[in-house]
Amino acid sequence: MQHPSALASFALVLSGLICTHAFAADQATIKTGEALYNQNCSVCHQADAIGKPGFAPSLTNPELLSIASDKFFESTIRDGRPGTGMPPFAHLGRKKIKAIVAYLRSHSKLPNRASEVDAEPESHGDPRLGKQWFDDICSTCHGKNGDGYASGGTGTAIGKKGFLGKVSDGFIRETIRHGRSNTRMLGFSDAAGLAHLSDEEIDDIIAYMRTLDKQ
Ligand code: HEC
Ligand code: HEC
């Protein structure tokens, strides 16, 4: 018969207490974030941040939450997306913005892969080939130059700096490959997608997108 030493069981109780405490603190932050979300964001992004096609994207989409870093969320919320309907919220300050992100993250269904995705190699695709795909497929929803809702579609402004300046090629690549479930953004690597694109073709599209905010 082995008994845990008194010291070990003390350590166990202590770590249990610390965990419970951290959990309670997290829950409090999430509650604060939820209230801030309802005050500042739900008018556009809707209750539970499910989004509204052609108006504001979903922020609780599982694929988005799994590939987006905290830095992406915090800086997008802080700076907004100039030239789109997404206003800047720098006035809220870091702490409140972090609480909103904690609330969004509380909807996560998939593991967070942001650091892995952001470490993917950069695209070395051919922008001329990418332009053809973009004009044929992507522009239908995202607009001719990735201008977003302004051009009448349901896709966001993926040709503007507010997006391109904050995401890695890995983020764009994963989104094109796998899409975002329950939105109109279907994955293009899957047979179920609108078109089956190879990894090379996807990288050509990324290379073209990278030219859009410089035009
Ligand atoms: C007036 C409407 C409006 C409000 C209010 C608003 N947003 Fe947005 N938000 C948008 C639109 C529109 C976009 C998409 C812009 C584009 O086309 O790129 C967006 C995009 C985003 C994105 C990028 C999502 C993605 O799929 O990459 C994040 C993150 C975001 N908003 C967070 C917030 C948060 C958090 C709040 C509240 C603090 C907020 N927004 C308030 C309209 C709004
Ligand atoms: C049928 C419409 C449709 C087509 C076609 C489409 N998209 Fe999308 N895309 C969307 C929607 C809608 C979203 C945002 C999801 C949401 O509203 O929550 C999106 C989101 C994205 C995002 C993330 C943008 C952000 O703000 O975070 C990228 C990147 C993207 N699409 C790239 C592409 C590319 C590249 C193509 C062409 C190969 C393409 N999309 C084709 C509808 C479409």
CATH number reported for the structural domain that contains residue 101 in this entry:
1.10.760.10
Kindly give the distance from the C-alpha atom of residue 41 to the centroid of ligand 1, in angstroms, as a whole number: 8
Same domain for 28 and 54: yes
Q: How far, in Å, from the CA of 38 to the mean position of ligand 1?
A: 13
CA nearest ligand 1 atom 33, residue: 77
Q: According to the model, what pLDDT value does residue 21 have? A: 74
**Ligand having the closest approach to the CA of 42:** 1
- Asked if residue 3 belongs to a domain, the reply is no
Q: Is there an atom of ligand 1 within 6 Å of 158 CB?
A: no
**Predicted local confidence at residue 4, as pLDDT:** 55
For the record, the structure tokens of 93 come out as 């300050």
The parent domain of residue 44 ranges over 14-112
Query: What is the total count of domains within the chain?
Result: 2
Cβ–ligand 1 contact at 163 (below 6 Å): yes
Please give the Cα distance from 178 to 42 (Å, whole number): 26
- Looking at residue 22, its pLDDT comes to 73
pLDDT < 70: residue spans in the chain: 1-19, 191-194, 215
Same domain, residue pair 206 and 120: yes
- In terms of domains, do 120 and 191 share one? yes
Q: Which pLDDT score is estimated for 10?
A: 65
The structure tokens listed for 58 are 């979903």
What pLDDT is recorded for position 1?
Answer: 45
Helix axes 93-105, 70-79, angle to 10 degrees: 130
Together in a domain, 129 and 207? yes
Bridge-partner residues for 106, per DSSP?
none
Tell me: do 163 and 96 sit in the same domain.
Answer: no
- Amino acid sitting at position 65: L
